[in-house]
Structure formats: C-alpha cells, structure tokens
Structure 1
Amino acid sequence: MPTITVGLRPHTLPAPITEDTPPAAVAMLLGTLHALPDGGMRIVFDVNGDPARLRIPAAAEPGKADGLWQHTCFEAFIATPGEEAYREFNFSPSGQWAGYAFSRYRERNTVADPSFTPRMQCRVDAGHLMLEVELPASALPSVAAGISLQVGLAAVIELADGSLDYWAVHHPAAQPDFHHRDGWVLSFDPRMISA
C-alpha cells in the first residue's frame, strides 16, 4: 500500500540548544499518508515530545466543529494539480473535525463543503501524541486516472502557556500560512493500491 512519511517543522525555529536549554515541548512531528483500498486516505500525525507541556483538547462529542485551529489541531490541504479549488480538513485530538471547500485562495465555497464522517483515533502516552484519521474517497477532490493529489500537511500546537506553534512540511511565507499553495509539496495518489 503506498505510504509517504514526512517531517513537519515549526515556522519559527527554536533558539540554539545549550546545556541550560530545556528540551523542546515537541521534539519531532511526523505526518504519514496511507492509501486505502476504497480510494480514501489515512493520515497519521505523530508528535514526539512532552504531552504534559502541551495543551491537548479534552475528548468531546465527536462531530463537526469550527475554530479547531485555535488550539492543538492537525490539518490537511488537498487539491487537484492545476486547479484553484482545494479542500481543507481540520482534526482535533478532542474527536472533532471540520472540512471546508475553497474555490481559490482563502475564498470559501460553502456549497461544496465536503460531507463526510472521518474515522479518528487519538492516543496520548508519556512521549507521544498520535492522531490517526481516515478520510473516505468521497471527501477528497476528484482527479483523473493517473493524476496524483497535491497535499499539504500542517499542525497547530498549543503550548502549556497558551502560545501557538505552527508546523508544516514547508513554510513558503514570512508568516504562517497553511493555505499558501507553495507549501503543499506532497504528491499522493490514494488509488494506487499494490496488488
């Protein structure tokens, strides 16, 4: 089954490490894409660090919710290459999610918002926060056979002091901007399942 694993990095790099520097709250953040047999996509976000130094949203009634990005939240931006339209997905460790359609850069198209219910699972232990989500094929943009989707993975990490760190595979702008298309550097075809 096709799989891609990439490291995300913070928009603002931490200060140089000295012997007096405490370890970072997040040492590493990985994102992994898996193709599913039905043409859907599994995304796994794995935060290696100290969950005690993060603000992780408490479990809530699973369902759609807006404003998830204001706290620890994992995001995927998915588009068909060459088209301005794209989709944004937000996933909270609380079990809540959101899906939005855009007709072009930051221009919402509420009529085309994807209707879906993802399968989500969140685990927290002494050194990890892991969130796994499965998106059905119907939630993804449609592409012609042989064309891969353009994907950007990102995360907002809320630290214990309430500040927010912005993580992505690539940060193309001076300010954090997950909607910036140049940050979507992954190419993935969820339909390419090996026999």
Structure 2
Amino acid sequence: MQVDLRAFNSCDAIDFLRFDLERGASNLLQLSFELSGSIQSRFATIAEPRDRTFGLWQEDCFELFLRPLDCRQYWELNFAPNGDWNCFLLSDYRQGLEASNDIKIKTLKSRHLTQRYQISATLELAGDAMQLNKTFWMGPAAILAAAGSRHYFALEHGNKPDFHCPDHQRRFIN
C-alpha cells in the first residue's frame, strides 16, 4: 500500500514524501519512506540498523504507528537517517509508553536515487504484535528539519501535528 504524506506546514525543501508498506511472510512487514527534494542530499546511506536510541523524534525521524483493529494499544516505530531506531508499545492514546521487543528490526537500510532518498526496513512481528494480522491501522509520519524549522508529515493533520491520533491513521488490508 503506497500513500503520500502531507506536510503540516509548507516545506520548499521537500517535493514529496511517500510511504509504502507491504506484507512479506505472515510475520514480516516491509516498509519504505521515499522523499524528493533538496533536503535528501544531507542524509547518509546506511546498510544495517545501528543502535536502539531514545529521543529520535527530536531530530530527523521517520515514524510508523501500528494498531490492531478494535484495540487501544499500539506500537510506535522510529527510524533515523543514520540507522538508529526504536520501538515502543503504548497502552492507549499517548499513555503507558514503554520500550517493546514485539517488533524486531530485521533490516534497515537507505540509498540515494536520482534526486530521491529512500529508507527501508523489514519488521519481524512477535509476541503481542502478532495481533497485527492482515488488517490493522497504520500511521506513517516524519519529522524533518529544513530551513531552520521542523516540518511534520503524516497522512492527515488536525489543527496541530499529532501522529498518535487514531483519526489520522489508515486501515491496512493485505
């Protein structure tokens, strides 16, 4: 499933930001973020995941929120252009944040294409994350710095950026 992310505030340094999610084997998800614009040249090329790191959202960060149907708990995944990552489980909307090992990052890599940058990952679902069967809610997002400001990208926005809001997520059916 491929979707374009919308900027909360205009950003001339980014022409587009696209997200793609596909199911691999029954417990694997493959995702990618692809962006075009002058900002892409500052991101490094990575070949594997680096460190599990907290606070990635304070810098450039690609994010994915996953929530089983009819469930309040959800996972937040963070991917930095340098290869750092994290995975959290929340018990409800912005509540009970804790590090989670239910989703493992099997691969995390990036590459530069002609005028584009792509970061992709393979996720392995385990434990409670196996609830993410064929249909679930997803919310891809990104926080990117450009021209001295932070820019927020998501499927939808309310009156302020809020990636956790279930109203801004889309059903994934595979």
**TM-score when scaled to structure 1?**
0.78
The yes-or-no answer on 1:156 pairing with 2:143 is: yes
Q: Secondary structure at the match of 2:130?
A: coil
- CA RMSD in angstroms comes to 2.6
Counterpart CA distance in 2 for 1:140 and 1:150 is 15
Identify unmatched segments of 5+ residues in structure 2: none
- State the structure with more CA Rg: 1
Distance 1:74 1:188, change over 3 A: farther
> What is the CA-CA distance between 1:61 and the residue it aligns to?
7.6
State percent identity of aligned pairs.
Answer: 24
Give 1:128 deviation, angstroms.
1.0
- Are 1:121 and 2:121 matched, yes or no? no
Give the distance between the partners of 1:36 and 1:102, measured in 2 at CA.
25
Q: Counterparts of 2:2 and 2:110 in 1: how far apart (Å)?
A: 18
Q: What are the residue-to-residue correspondences of 1:14-163 with 2, within 5 Å?
A: 24-51=12-39, 56=43, 62-110=50-98, 114=102, 116-125=104-113, 127-138=115-126, 141-143=129-131, 148-159=135-146, 161-163=147-149
Q: Report the equivalent of 2:155.
A: 169
Q: Which residue identity does 1:91 align to in structure 2?
A: F
C-alpha displacement at 1:83, in angstroms? 1.0
Query: Runs of 5+ in structure 1 lacking a partner?
Result: 15-23, 190-195
Partner of 2:2: 5
The one of 165, 168, 171 aligned to 1:183? 168
Q: What SS class does the counterpart of residue 104 from structure 1 fall into?
A: coil
How many residues align? The count is 173
Please list every run of at least 4 consecutive aligned residues from structure 1 whose deviation after the TM superposition is greater than 4 angstroms: 57-61
Secondary structure in 2 matching 1:141: helix
TM-score normalised by L of structure 2: 0.87
More strand by share: 2
